[in-house]
Amino acid sequence: MEVTLRPGRWSSRLARMAVASTLLAAYPAAAQGTFITVSSTTSTEQSGLFRHILPEFTKATGIEARVVAMGTGQALDMGRRGDADVVFVHDQVAEEKFVAEGFGVKRFEVMYNDFVIVGPKADPAKARGKDVLAGLKAIAAARAPFVSRADKSGTHAAELRYWKAAGIDLANDKGPWYRETGSGMGPTLNTASAMNAYALADRGTWLSFRNLGDLEIVVEGDQRLFNQYGVMLVNPARHAYVKREAGQKFVDWVISPAGQAAIAAYAINGEQLFFPNAKAGG
Amino acid sequence: MAERDPSTLHARDLTVVLGGVRALDGLDLTLEPGLRTVVLGANGAGKSVLLRTLHGLIRPARGEVTWSRPTRQAMVFQRPVMLRRSAFANITYALAVNGVPEPERTRRAAAALARVGLAAIASRPARVLSGGEQQRLALARAWALEPDYLFLDEPTASLDPGATAEIERVIASFAAEGTRIVMTTHNLGQARRLADEIVFIHAGRATERTAADLFFDHPASREAGLFLQGELPWK
Amino acid sequence: MLEIFASLGLALGLIGGADPTLLGIVVLSIELSLVAAVAGAAIGLPLGALIAVGRFPGRRSLIVLLNALLGLPSVVVGLVVYLLLSRAGPLGTLGILFTPAAIVVAQTLLVAPIVAALARQTAEDAWKDYEEQLTSLGVSRLRAVPTILWDARFSLLTVVLAGFGRAASEVGAVMIVGGNIDGVTRVMTTAIALETSKGDLPLALALGLVLIAVVLAVNAGAYAIREWSARHHG
């Protein structure tokens, strides 16, 4: 009465389904033409800049650019692991380290936008003005709620530099007024909006942000708030998979007159978000 | 099937413990070929456990079941388990599992259905058949395996009289072709109609094995006498 | 409360307007979740039934492990799949990180334990009814696995749907391994997360309502199929 297992009608059908599903899953990847993966920041993606300029890049080169948006720290890590062909971020210090370590080929400056401090319209800390350091000092002195991204992003790195420059030692001064969300710009602004707190934000994300609540810009226009973006090809010598040619074409294009013009042309409600400043010839 | 050499079954010192209770307690039994055996006994005497142990579904804690020669066997349960497929496929499944190749499989399944009068509903899903039809299908499925021994555990307990008569007719015809029938029932009329011999079980032991025509009037054991008195109070 | 009604209107508008971008996202979501549900079922159903029917050392531990995996945090799965598929990882040569295939892999890993754990329960109940009859017919435990799966198919459809639901509602792992790339790996849930982080809560909620509608439609369809077949097969 002992019987061995014979694959019946049922199991062969299952096998066919499994094969079909594997093919189906692989299909979208295989069906695409040339594409590169760009690791970039939430600020550029969420502001809508990429949706505006990438079609022009694709039209010019026939290359599709796929953007994975995350904090600058994570975006650089993606490059370090070889998961991106191009890194397009905004933390000059970290970027230079990235290139110095041999992960990036060469850093090119592309554009800048600026940071703003947003806060309650009533401005209980009296932080309003043009001076970022004075504004932060006022917030810390008033123990007014401030929401930090605390996610090792470019914006977070900038925020920490401003606190330091303002002479405020967060390590000692960090009270309940200083809240760390550990998340992206958008979620941090959502938190600030809900708490009616101050926060440092990039102008692009702020302008495209909808859930304003009672928040508005309280500090802007300080030279120190300028936020430089750089672009670099991930070093093919480190990661053989890097699409050197297509990736380089992307770098070349964003710093070319055509790319720079496309960046300059992007605006929300008539307000230009990013200011191209690539040096001619790299 | 009739031409197959008969096989004798010996059960020796069968002891089965279920849930801390001795369902069988050192039971000895010999079943000789060519007879129809009905196992009787009060509720909880161990009838069903005996059939399952003889069929190999329950491993005895002590004792053993031996056959005088390799023997094919099948069992029909009180509540038939129908696979969720057609009546026909229920039979071909059992045949396929037992290594019967096509087209033999199809031929035997069709013959089995015809045998129990279910040829017309071969393609119907087995689960939507009536209780009587399901039990006939279970009989056909067992019969298709061409068993030497067929165990039936209260095969008509949940059926109406019409369906019961039909099942009895099928069982009798299987036996007439040489299939060794071993069944339990609560229905003494049925036992009288179908049995050549009666095995009476009490407290996990076989207290007697008596020819059916003798048993109902002159049970050998005191326990069987009391049982018959309880079941047939007018005697 | 007003916001929810506004979102409802917006959701209806989105569905009615058949916006091609939204349509692409919805189709991708359904497609990937279905593939993951099928793949997870291909792994989970036999595994669950094998554990239900089989008798082998370590079976109990396996059941506990499987039940524990029900609560597997999707972010952890995402992270593990990311590290595996990353160019620097052991499966980096496949080059499927940040593609729909990577999403399917992560979803499948999340779906398979759910399907296996629920299928085990279903198959164990069925096995209780079938064990004597199948053993009597000479069916080995291994051979009983496909039989049980086929016979419990209507109940197991619900199990697979639960897997589909998990795949479709998954965001953490999908975000990590898919990268939420516009037009490539952006699915309903990551689109919702994106709109939430852009502060466009009404749009995010509207997308959520569309997602619910999609999942509801798939479930209703499957339920109808199940009812119909159950009526015809008993």
Matching residue, tokens 């699915």: C187
CA distance B127 to chain C (A): 5
Tell me the CA distances in angstroms from A212 to A114, A185, A186, A189, B183, one per residue in order.
19, 13, 11, 8, 82
Tell if the CB–CB gap between B84 and C234 is shorter than 8 Å.
Answer: yes
Tell me the CA distances in angstroms from A138 to A157, A189, B177, one per residue in order.
20, 20, 105
pLDDT in tens, C60-70: 999 999 988 88
Taking CB atoms and an 8 Å cut-off, how many pairs form between chains A and C?
A: 115
Matching residue, tokens 């009672």: A214
pLDDT in tens, C212-225: 988 899 889 888 88
Quote the ipTM score: 0.91
Residues of B whose CB is below 8 A from C130 = 81
Tell if the CB–CB gap between B81 and C133 is shorter than 8 Å.
Answer: yes
Residues of C whose CB is below 8 A from B82 = 234
Tell if the CB–CB gap between C135 and B128 is shorter than 8 Å.
Answer: no
Question: What is the biggest distance separating any 2 CA atoms in chain A, rounded to whole angstroms?
Answer: 90
**pLDDT given at position A15:** 46
**Token digits of residue B212:** 């059916």
Tell me the CA distances in angstroms from B131 to A193, B138, B181, C131, C136, one per residue in order.
68, 10, 21, 20, 20
DSSP letter at B37 equals: E
**Residues A69/A44, Cβ–Cβ less than 8 Å:** yes
Sequence-ordered list of residues with C-beta below 8 angstroms from that of C201, at least 6 positions apart, any chain: A210, A211, C3, C7, C195
Residues of B whose CB is below 8 A from C129 = 81
**Same-fold call for A33-112+228-276 versus A114-225:** yes
Q: How many CA atoms lie within 13 A of C103 on its CB side?
A: 36
Helices (H), B118-160: 131-144
Residues of B whose CB is below 8 A from A1 = 98
Neighbouring chains of A at 3+ CB pairs under 8 Å are B, C
Burial label, A13 (beta-carbon count in 10 A; 0-12, 13-18, 19+): exposed
More confident residue, B165 or C205: B165
- Residue C203: pLDDT band (50, 70, 90) is confident
pLDDT at A7 over 60: no
Cis peptide before B103 (omega within 30 of 0): yes
For B89, the enclosing helix (H) or strand (E) is helix B87-97
Sequence-ordered list of residues with C-beta below 8 angstroms from that of A25, at least 6 positions apart, any chain: C32, C35, C39, C100, C101, C104
Q: Which of B51, B72, B83 to mutate to test the interface with C (most CBs of C within 10 A)?
A: B83
| Beta pairing class for B36-41 and B197-202 | parallel
Residues of B whose CB is below 8 A from A6 = 96
DSSP letter at B69 equals: S
CATH fold label, A114-225: D-Maltodextrin-Binding Protein; domain 2 (3.40.190)
**Percent of chain C whose predicted confidence (pLDDT) is above 90:** 61
Tell me the CA distances in angstroms from B22 to B17, B46, B63, C222, one per residue in order.
4, 9, 13, 49
**pLDDT given at position C202:** 82
Nearest chain B residue (CA) to C137: B94
Where along chain C do its domains lie?
2-233
pLDDT at A267 over 70: yes
CATH fold label, C2-233: MetI-like fold (1.10.3720)
pLDDT in tens, C106-139: 999 999 999 999 999 999 999 999 999 999 999 9
pLDDT at C17 over 80: no
For residues B214 and B200, what is the distance between their CA atoms, to the nearest angstrom? 13
For A226, the enclosing helix (H) or strand (E) is strand A226-234
What's the average model confidence in pLDDT over C188-196? 91
For residues A201 and B91, what is the distance between their CA atoms, to the nearest angstrom? 73
**Residues A37/A68, Cβ–Cβ less than 8 Å:** yes
**Residues A14/C42, Cβ–Cβ less than 8 Å:** yes
Residues of A whose CB is below 8 A from B96 = 6
A122 touches chain B (CB under 8 A): no
**Token digits of residue C163:** 């897997």
**pLDDT given at position A14:** 45
Residues of A whose CB is below 8 A from C96 = 26, 29
For residues C167 and C115, what is the distance between their CA atoms, to the nearest angstrom? 11
Neighbouring chains of B at 3+ CB pairs under 8 Å are A, C
Residues of B whose CB is below 8 A from A3 = 97-99
Which string of b and e fits B6-19 if b means at least 16 CB within 10 Å? ebebebeebbbeee
For residues B139 and B181, what is the distance between their CA atoms, to the nearest angstrom? 12
pLDDT at C101 over 80: yes
Other Cβ atoms closer than 10 A to B55: 20
- Whose CA is closest to B193, among B174, B170, B172? B172
Candidates A8, A67, A212; nearest CB to C146: A8
**Residues C206/C11, Cβ–Cβ less than 8 Å:** yes
Candidates C95, C98, C149; nearest CB to A66: C98
Nearest chain B residue (CA) to A4: B97
pLDDT in tens, A126-156: 999 999 999 999 999 999 999 999 988 889 9
Sequence-ordered list of residues with C-beta below 8 angstroms from that of A63, at least 6 positions apart, any chain: A33, A34, A35, A36, A57, A246, A249, A250
**Token digits of residue A38:** 């760009």
Cα dihedral across residues C23, C29, C32, C35: positive or negative: negative
Candidates C132, C138, C151; nearest CB to B83: C151
pLDDT at A19 over 70: no
Other Cβ atoms closer than 10 A to A30: 9
Q: Taking a contact as any Cβ pair under 8 Å apart, which residues of chain C between 39 and 98 contact chain A?
A: 39, 42, 86-89, 92, 95-98
- Whose CA is closest to A148, among A129, A138, A161? A161
C139 touches chain B (CB under 8 A): yes
pLDDT in tens, A202-237: 998 898 898 899 999 999 999 999 999 999 999 999
Tell me the CA distances in angstroms from C232 to B125, B176, C53, C151, C157, one per residue in order.
7, 37, 27, 14, 16
Residues of C whose CB is below 8 A from A216 = none
Tell me the CA distances in angstroms from C147 to A54, B89, C58, one per residue in order.
54, 12, 24
User: Three-state SS string across chain C, please?
Assistant: CHHHHHHHHHHHHHHHHCCHHHHHHHHHHHHHHHHHHHHHHHHHHHHHHHHHHCCCCCHHHHHHHHHHHCCCCHHHHHHHHHHHHCCCCCCHHHCCCCCHHHHHHHHHHHHHHHHHHHHHHHHHHHHHHHHHHHHHHCCCHHHHHHHHHHHCHHHHHHHHHHHHHHHHHCCHHHHHHHCCCCCCCCCHHHHHHHHHHCCCHHHHHHHHHHHHHHHHHHHHHHHHHHHHHHHHHC
For B10, the enclosing helix (H) or strand (E) is strand B9-18
Torsion-angle region of residue C158: left (phi > 0), alpha (psi -120 to 50) or beta? alpha
pLDDT in tens, A97-133: 999 999 999 999 999 999 999 999 999 999 999 999 9
What's the average model confidence in pLDDT over C75-99? 91
Nearest chain C residue (CA) to A15: C42
Sequence-ordered list of residues with C-beta below 8 angstroms from that of C193, at least 6 positions apart, any chain: C171, C175, C180, C204
Tell if the CB–CB gap between B99 and A3 is shorter than 8 Å.
Answer: yes
Tell if the CB–CB gap between B81 and C130 is shorter than 8 Å.
Answer: yes
CA distance A10 to chain B (A): 13
CA distance C27 to chain A (A): 13
For B50, the enclosing helix (H) or strand (E) is helix B47-55
CA distance C143 to chain B (A): 8
Helices (H), chain A: 9-31, 42-46, 49-61, 72-80, 92-100, 132-142, 154-165, 170-173, 185-195, 203-208, 244-254, 257-264
DSSP letter at B30 equals: E
User: Three-state SS string across A134-199, please?
Assistant: HHHHHHHHHCCCEEECCCCCHHHHHHHHHHHHCCCCHHHHCCCCEEECCCCHHHHHHHHHHHCCEE
- Whose CA is closest to A128, among A18, A30, A222? A222
CATH architecture of A33-112+228-276: 3-Layer(aba) Sandwich (3.40)
For A238, the enclosing helix (H) or strand (E) is none
- Kindly report the CATH class assigned to B9-231: alpha beta
- Whose CA is closest to A250, among A262, A239, A240? A262
Tell if the CB–CB gap between C182 and A81 is shorter than 8 Å.
Answer: no
**pLDDT given at position B113:** 96
Q: Taking a contact as any Cβ pair under 8 Å apart, which residues of chain A between 167 and 206 contact chain C?
A: 183-187, 189-190, 193, 205
Other Cβ atoms closer than 10 A to C76: 12
Per-residue pLDDT of chain B (235 residues; tens, 9 = 90+): 444 567 899 999 999 999 888 999 999 999 988 899 999 998 888 999 999 999 999 999 999 999 998 899 999 999 999 999 999 999 999 999 999 999 999 999 999 999 999 999 999 999 999 999 999 999 999 999 999 999 999 999 989 999 999 999 999 999 999 899 999 999 999 999 999 999 999 989 999 999 998 998 888 888 898 888 887 655 5
A3 touches chain B (CB under 8 A): yes
The whole-angstrom distance between residue C185's C-alpha and the CA centroid of its chain comes to 17
Nearest chain C residue (CA) to B92: C137
Sequence-ordered list of residues with C-beta below 8 angstroms from that of C86, at least 6 positions apart, any chain: A81, A82, A83, C92, C97
**pLDDT given at position A184:** 87
**Token digits of residue A67:** 């953007």
For residues B168 and B126, what is the distance between their CA atoms, to the nearest angstrom? 21
**Token digits of residue B59:** 């491993």
